[in-house]
Every structure is written in structure tokens, then in C-alpha cells.
Amino acid sequence: MKVVVICGGVGAARLLRGFVGMVPAGDLTAIANVGDDMVLHGLSISPDLDTIVYTLADAVSAERGWGLEGETWQAMEMIAAYGAVSGQPLDWFSLGDRDLGTHLFRTGALAAGATLDAVTAQIVERWSLPLTLLPVSNDPIRTMVTVAEGPDAGDEISFQEYFVGRQHSVAVSAVRFAGADAAAAGPGVLDAIDEADVIVIAPSNPAVSIDPVLAVTGIRERLTARRTNVVAVSPIIGGKALKGPADRLLVELGRESSATAVAEWYADVVGTLVIDTVDAAQVDAIEALGVRSIVTETIMSSPEITRALAETILDAGQP
Ligand code: FO1
């Protein structure tokens, strides 16, 4: 059975762990967000791609959910000592010493003319991961958020300035995916969706992790055409996001923070929404939106629960 998983970072990487071993390597494709990508200190950084790789390689920091376990930070200490640029300390975004090796490799390869999908394939090969990992596009897409409050209300800042620089504590009035209109789906992306038996939308942030993938020309249309086989997992459990600002962003963007609001967000592209047992009372409201709803344990606190969730999703995708 061919499975495609549309991915943000941490939540998606954890769910992918459930599919690895269950779905043969040649049949498992992850399509990842690149809207969080940035150039910092001259380096091309792709956080969601790297989070997926490090997680599946069992090398990710368990505490942070990004970067490498047992990392050292000598390069950051070195750069921090040079001070600040425009009032911002140079170490505002933490790049571990070994993680820097990945960014150096990616930056050098891109500068030498390689495409992001080819560089990513080489990284996946180095870590011997049993899947195909495709950046949604080789073209730059940048998630930008509009600040809703404070001295710079109305200004647009990059996703990482919002997420890391401001610790996602500032209210947001709009989200935009700069470059998405002009971006072409990466090699193999549209074919993978067309050929998949089941297409999964991971429990990532709908507004800033999944929407930048859906914004790439052709993806939303392809998913709509395959809607019966598209299964999303709600990242909102009992009204809250497990990690990150998905709950607050939904409210700031005019929705409510609930599994039902996630169903509404995805109603055009998703046939089934998997929701957590604590949200079982929302099944009728979700189904009233024309989205089938399946209730199960969705907090991936053990390999057994993660595998059971993955199995439930595969069943749900072939109604
Ligand atoms: N997240 C943070 O909260 N602080 C950081 O300093 C940070 C550095 C970082 C470096 C490499 C990388 O691949 C990810 C990193 N992240 C960091 C996570 C990153 O902001 C992700 O985009 C978010 O987790 C959203 O998916």
C-alpha cells in the first residue's frame, strides 16, 4: 500500500515513526513543509526536513524535539561573543555543532547547483532512512506572519522570527506564504499524491505547517480529487495543541481551538479526521461538516500507541 504523509516538523516526524516498519520503504513518501526554511549566517536551514530526518534516525533531541541529542554549542558560543546585529543577538536561533554540519552540507550543495530534493535525498541516504522524503518544492516559500499587537503591529515577520525570536508569544492577524504562488511542486510530489492509496495530513499546525504545503500550485486540487483517501489527524486535543501555537493561531485567525475547527479548516481536502478520545463528543459536529470522524488515542506517548494510530489511519484512508 502506497502512503503519502504531508508533514510539518515535530508532530509529523513522530507519526512517521509509526508508518516506518509498517509500510515498505519504497511505498512511504513524506512531503514536507519548507515555509519554515531560512538563510541565517549565510546557511540554508530547513528545520522541518531536518526534524523529520533526525527523528527517524533516532538522533533527535528528546527534550527539544528538534536538533540532535547530545549536541554541543561551541560555534554558537563563538558567534554570540561577536555581539548583535540590529539589536538581535547572533545566537537567537540555536544551531548545534553537529547540526551545523548538515546546514554546511546543504548550503554548499545548493550553491554548487544541486536542487533541494537531491540534497535531501543524500541526507536521507546518509542516515539510512526507509522512506522517500520530498521537500514540497525546490523553490523558496517563506511563511510570513503579520504581528497583531505592540509597537510593530501590522508588520510582517518571518516564521522563525515569530516562532523562535518571539517565542510565538505575540498575537498574529494574518499568515502568508511568500513565493508559494510561483513555486512548482518538487519532482515526484504530485505523482506521489496521485499514486498513493492513502494520503495522511500529519498532526502539524494547520495554519503555518500544512497550509504552506497546500498553497503550492496543484497540491490542494490533487488532494481534493483524492479526498476520500485523505486522512488528517487533529493537532488540537481537548482544545489545546500539544506543542507550539496551533491553538492560539486558530483563535487569532478567527476560528476556535477545537478538533471541529480543524475539520472545518480541512473540509475541502480531507475525507476523514482522526480525533482524540477526549474530543469524542465532537463527532456529530465534525460529521455535520461532511468529514468522517474516527476517535482514538492520538497522543503518541509510546511506540505501541503510535503504531496503533498509524494502523487506524491506514484503515480510515480506504473506506
Ligand atoms: N526552535 C526553537 O524553539 N529554538 C531554536 O533555537 C531552534 C533552532 C533550530 C535549529 C535547527 C532546526 O532544524 C530547528 C530549530 N528549531 C528551533 C525548531 C524550528 O524553529 C522549527 O521550525 C519549529 O519547531 C517549527 O516546526
Query: Mind listing the pLDDT tens digit of every residue in the chain (319 residues)?
Result: 999 999 999 999 999 999 998 999 999 999 999 999 999 999 999 999 999 999 999 999 999 999 999 999 999 999 999 999 888 899 999 999 999 999 999 999 999 999 999 999 999 999 999 999 999 999 999 999 999 999 999 999 999 999 999 999 999 999 999 999 999 999 999 999 999 999 999 999 999 999 999 999 999 999 999 999 999 999 999 999 999 999 999 999 999 999 999 999 999 999 999 999 999 999 999 999 999 999 999 999 999 999 999 999 999 999 8
Grid coordinates of 219:
497540491
What is the domain range of residue 37? 3-139+181-316
Q: Which atom of ligand 1 is nearest to the CA of 204?
A: 26
Burial class (CB in 10 A: 0-12, 13-18, 19+), 308: middle
Which residues have C-beta within 8 Å of that of residue 302, sequence separation ≥ 6?
none
Alpha helices in 81-166 (DSSP H): 97-111, 116-126, 159-160
d(C-alpha 244, C-alpha 214), whole Å: 20
183 CA to centre of ligand 1 in angstroms: 24
> Is 154 contained in some domain?
no
DSSP 8-state symbol, 25: G
- Looking at residue 87, its pLDDT comes to 87
> Is 101 contained in some domain?
yes
Burial class (CB in 10 A: 0-12, 13-18, 19+), 112: exposed
d(C-alpha 1, C-alpha 124), whole Å: 21
- Looking at residue 193, its pLDDT comes to 98
Q: Given CA atoms 267, 5, 107, 113 in this order, what sign does their dihedral have? A: negative
What residues does ligand 1 touch, defined as CB less than 6 Å away?
Answer: 8-10, 36, 47-48, 50-51, 66-67, 93-95, 99, 160, 163-164
Pocket test of ligand 1: the residue of 36, 93, 106, 162 to mutate, having most ligand atoms within 8 Å of its CB, is 93
> Is 198 contained in some domain?
yes
> Is 148 contained in some domain?
no
Q: Whose CA is nearest to atom 16 of ligand 1?
A: 66
> Is 50 contained in some domain?
yes
Q: Which atom of ligand 1 is nearest to the CA of 92?
A: 6
d(C-alpha 269, C-alpha 214), whole Å: 9
Instruction: Please answer whether residues 235 and 206 qualify as being in contact, where contact means their C-beta atoms are separated by less than 8 angstroms.
Output: yes
Pocket test of ligand 1: the residue of 44, 60, 66, 175 to mutate, having most ligand atoms within 8 Å of its CB, is 66
Largest CA distance in the chain: 58
Rounded to 5 degrees, what are φ and ψ at 69? -65, 145
169 CA to centre of ligand 1 in angstroms: 15
CATH number of the domain that 13 lies in? Answer: 3.40.50.10680
Listed residue (68, 57, 26, 60) closest to 127, CA to CA: 57
Which residues have C-beta within 8 Å of that of residue 189, sequence separation ≥ 6?
31, 134, 136, 137, 216, 219
47 CA to centre of ligand 1 in angstroms: 6
> Is 305 contained in some domain?
yes
Q: What's the structural domain count of the chain?
A: 1
Separation in Å, CA 97 to CA 73, 78, 84: 6, 11, 20
- Looking at residue 147, its pLDDT comes to 98
Q: Which atom of ligand 1 is nearest to the CA of 47?
A: 13
For 319, what's the count of Cα atoms within 13 Å in the CB-facing half-sphere? Answer: 16
Listed residue (223, 237, 231, 235) closest to 312, CA to CA: 231
Separation in Å, CA 168 to CA 78, 147, 306: 26, 10, 27
pTM of the model: 0.98
> Is 193 contained in some domain?
yes
- Looking at residue 319, its pLDDT comes to 87
User: 508569544: which residue's cell?
Assistant: 169
Instruction: Please answer whether residues 172 and 253 qualify as being in contact, where contact means their C-beta atoms are separated by less than 8 angstroms.
Output: yes
Grid coordinates of 8:
510539518
> Is 248 contained in some domain?
yes
- Looking at residue 118, its pLDDT comes to 98
Rounded to 5 degrees, what are φ and ψ at 219? -75, -50
Q: Which atom of ligand 1 is nearest to the CA of 163?
A: 20
Q: Which atom of ligand 1 is nearest to the CA of 209?
A: 26
Q: Whose CA is nearest to atom 9 of ligand 1?
A: 94
Q: Given CA atoms 313, 163, 253, 225 in this order, what sign does their dihedral have? A: negative
